[in-house]
């Protein structure tokens, strides 16, 4: 048998596990969705900064420098003037970005790290490290790739690293980045080494990269995910809890309605029993009264006969008094028996019905001998589960009645047997006696009900028999074609004894 405590724990675990699993799956999905959204948002911001720098590079390359060289070629600018503050876009952007970070700082915003990285820089600050060099190679080999994005961790803080290839080296670039000797003399004088020279047209010679802290974004993702997952968990748990409560209430309601039904049935049963008891009390007092009246009447007659000297009548007066007292004794005995049947019962045993019948016949040997009675007992009587002494009483009563109500029959025949009806075994005691009118087939099982008031007996026997059969969970009834046609008393024994009160 499953332990109810374990069952309860298992169902509780199931109740908690399911929402936990769903909430975890939802949390993972949510986390990815939220962090990817925040990452895209951060990328867009960082991209904007880089594109604005790129715009300035373009302005310098396409507008400022051509204007400058044109002015110089036309003699408007005298000499070989060159200064990176005015003519180098990478120098200008790097410094402009520093100023930009200062502005950000003033606004309380985190700084964004910027670097123009090249394998061949003029200024060593722009020297590409190993990783940046690998990116330059990749962008040169794969022209379809236009950006690189990665979340990196520095000192436990998360950053979004974003890089784009710098402008492809054009013919205009070669003016300052080609052979050293072709470059403006001012530039040559400023940068004595080979750095930044000897570049080739069509080559991506540098990358621009930005690094932005995104720890806050991740924290936001954690908080939002955590809150949503907790919300989902709470909601699922609530739904499940609600369902469970509903089921509990439903089960309890069903239990209660069953209880109410049972109680109503019991109340009805009790009402019937009370009415029966009332009838019983009335009948008992009425039937006990009649021998008492007889005794009282004949005691008076006895006194009178003594007083008047009618001694010849004394014996008959006394006989009437004794008969009435005997009648009362047998009434009280039968009543006692009936009350005993209602109250106590012997433990049920497996017993052969043939043995029960044989026992009853032994007890009735005297009666059977007195009259010419042929009793036939079927050989196929089954074994039953019953209160043995009580069942002997049943058989004894039925066989005795068969003899008692033989009428004018000289050759009394009694058959004890069984038949099967719809899978149910029906036992019977059949006689060829006076028979019973169908109007009284039910009535005869009532207490003190006798069809012939002059007949011997108290009218309690069949009531007793019915009580015993009902205590065994069975039914009893009589079948008779009518007066003079004999009677067959039938009963069933389902084998379960009713609870004894
Ligand atoms: P009692 O036999 O003491 O009168 P019972 O309760 O045994 O009381 O029977 C009730 C009545 O049923 C009897 O008085 C009788 O009229 C009728 N009865 C019982 N058994 C038979 C039978 N085998 N044949 C005809 N009538 C019967």
Judged by average pLDDT, the poorest of 48-57, 142-151, 176-185, 341-350 is: 341-350
> Does 436 have pLDDT greater than 70?
yes
Sequence-distant (6+) residues with CB within 8 A of 38 are 214, 217, 218, 220, 221
Q: According to the model, what pLDDT value does residue 471 have?
A: 86
Q: What is the mean pLDDT of residues 51-61?
A: 91
pLDDT band at 491 (very low <50, low <70, confident <90, very high): very high
Helix axes 314-343, 215-308, angle to 10 degrees: 170
Q: According to the model, what pLDDT value does residue 253 have?
A: 95
Q: Are 385 and 473 in contact (CB under 8 A)?
A: no
pLDDT digits (tens, 9 = 90+) for 443-475: 999 877 888 877 777 788 999 899 899 989 899
**Interval between CA 435 and ligand 1 midpoint (Å):** 10
- Going by alpha carbons, the residue nearest to atom 1 of ligand 1 is 459
Q: According to the model, what pLDDT value does residue 116 have?
A: 92
Q: According to the model, what pLDDT value does residue 290 have?
A: 78
pLDDT digits (tens, 9 = 90+) for 22-49: 878 888 888 888 888 888 999 999 999 9
Q: According to the model, what pLDDT value does residue 224 have?
A: 86
Q: What is the token pair recorded at 451?
A: 């069809």
Which ligand 1 atom is nearest residue 451's CA? Answer: 16
pLDDT digits (tens, 9 = 90+) for 9-25: 777 777 677 777 887 88
> Does 322 have pLDDT greater than 90?
yes
Q: Is the CB of 459 under 6 A from ligand 1?
A: yes
Q: What is the token pair recorded at 234?
A: 């709470």
Phi, psi of 92 (to 5 degrees): -60, -50
Q: Is the CB of 434 under 6 A from ligand 1?
A: yes
Q: Is the CB of 487 under 6 A from ligand 1?
A: yes
> Does 408 have pLDDT greater than 80?
yes
pTM for this one? 0.48
Q: According to the model, what pLDDT value does residue 500 have?
A: 35
pLDDT digits (tens, 9 = 90+) for 275-307: 777 777 777 777 788 788 889 999 999 999 999
> Does 247 have pLDDT greater than 90?
yes
- Going by alpha carbons, the residue nearest to atom 11 of ligand 1 is 450
Q: Is the CB of 35 under 6 A from ligand 1?
A: no
Alpha carbons 474 and 490: distance in angstroms, whole number:
10
Which ligand 1 atom is nearest residue 429's CA? Answer: 23
Q: According to the model, what pLDDT value does residue 498 have?
A: 43
């Amino acid at each position: 048998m499953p332990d109810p405590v374990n069952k309860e724990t298992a169902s509780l675990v199931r109740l908690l596990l399911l929402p936990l699993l769903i909430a975890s799956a939802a949390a993972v999905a949510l986390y990815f969705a939220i962090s990817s959204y925040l990452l895209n948002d951060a990328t867009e911001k960082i991209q904007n900064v880089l594109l604005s720098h790129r715009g300035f590079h373009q302005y310098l390359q396409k507008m400022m420098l051509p204007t400058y060289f044109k002015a110089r070629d036309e003699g408007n600018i005298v000499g070989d003037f060159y200064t990176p503050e005015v003519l180098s876009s990478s120098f200008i952007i790097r410094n402009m970005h520093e100023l930009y970070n200062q502005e950000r700082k003033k606004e309380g915003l985190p700084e964004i790290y910027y670097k123009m990285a090249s394998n061949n820089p003029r200024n060593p600050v722009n020297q590409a490290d190993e990783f940046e060099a690998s990116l330059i190679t990749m962008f040169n080999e794969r022209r379809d790739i236009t950006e690189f994005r990665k979340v990196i961790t520095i000192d436990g803080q998360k950053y979004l690293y974003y890089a784009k290839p710098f402008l492809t080296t054009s013919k205009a670039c070669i003016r300052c980045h080609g052979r050293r000797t072709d470059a403006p003399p001012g530039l040559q004088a400023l940068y004595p080494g080979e750095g930044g020279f000897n570049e080739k047209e069509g080559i991506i010679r540098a990358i621009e990269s930005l690094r932005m802290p995104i720890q806050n974004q991740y924290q936001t993702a954690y908080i939002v995910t955590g809150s949503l997952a907790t919300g989902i968990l709470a909601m699922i748990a609530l739904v499940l809890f609600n369902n469970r409560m509903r089921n509990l209430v439903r089960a309890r309601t069903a239990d209660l309605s069953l209880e109410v039904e049972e109680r109503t049935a019991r109340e009805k049963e009790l009402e019937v029993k009370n009415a029966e008891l009332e009838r019983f009390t009335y009948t008992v007092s009425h039937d006990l009264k009649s021998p008492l009246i007889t005794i009282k009447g004949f005691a008076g007659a006895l006194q009178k006969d003594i007083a008047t000297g009618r001694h010849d009548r004394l014996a008959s007066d006394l006989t009437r008094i004794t008969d009435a007292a005997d009648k009362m004794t047998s009434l009280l005995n039968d009543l006692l028996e009936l009350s005993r049947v209602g109250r106590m019962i012997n433990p049920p045993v497996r017993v052969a019905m043939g043995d029960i019948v044989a026992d009853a016949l032994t007890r009735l040997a005297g009666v059977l001998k007195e009259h010419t009675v042929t009793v036939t007992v079927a050989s196929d009587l089954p074994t039953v589960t019953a209160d043995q002494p009580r069942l002997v009483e049943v058989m004894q009563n039925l066989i005795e009645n068969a003899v008692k109500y033989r009428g004018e029959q000289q050759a009394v025949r009694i058959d004890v047997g069984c038949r099967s009806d719809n899978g149910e075994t029906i036992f019977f005691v059949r006689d060829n006696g006076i028979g019973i009118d169908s109007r009284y087939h039910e009535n005869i099982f009532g207490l003190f009900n006798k069809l012939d008031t002059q007949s011997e007996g108290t009218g309690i026997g069949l009531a007793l028999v019915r009580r015993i059969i009902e205590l065994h969970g069975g039914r009893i009834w009589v079948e008779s074609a009518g007066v003079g046609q004999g009677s067959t008393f039938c009963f069933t024994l389902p084998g379960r004894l009713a609870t004894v009160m």
